[in-house]
């Protein structure tokens, strides 16, 4: 499956479209097919690092 991934904080938003394995759901989970997704304004602030001072977490690699 394809995934839009952001690997580091940057004022220039760099989204990579990568192929990743399809997750295998556990017995108490479901797998949902997503056709459309979007970012909201707060997520844009998060991925550009604009609110790192008030939200203390690291970008997952």
Contact 6, 47 (CB under 8 A): yes
Identify the band that residue 53 occupies on the pLDDT scale cut at 50, 70 and 90: low
Q: State residue 6's pLDDT score.
A: 82
How far is it, in rounded angstroms, from Cα 11 to Cα 48? 5
Domain holding 35, by residue range, is: 1-61
Predicted TM-score of the model (pTM): 0.57
Number of domains in the chain: 1
Query: Does residue 53 or residue 33 have the better pLDDT?
Result: 33
What span, in angstroms and rounded, lies between the C-alpha atoms of 60 and 9?
10
């Amino acid at each position: 499956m394809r995934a839009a991934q952001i690997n580091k904080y940057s004022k220039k938003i760099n989204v990579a479209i990568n192929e990743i394995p399809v997750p295998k759901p556990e017995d108490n989970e479901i797998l949902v097919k997503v056709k459309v997704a979007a970012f909201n304004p707060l997520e844009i602030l998060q991925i550009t690092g604009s609110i790192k001072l008030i939200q203390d977490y690291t970008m997952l690699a």
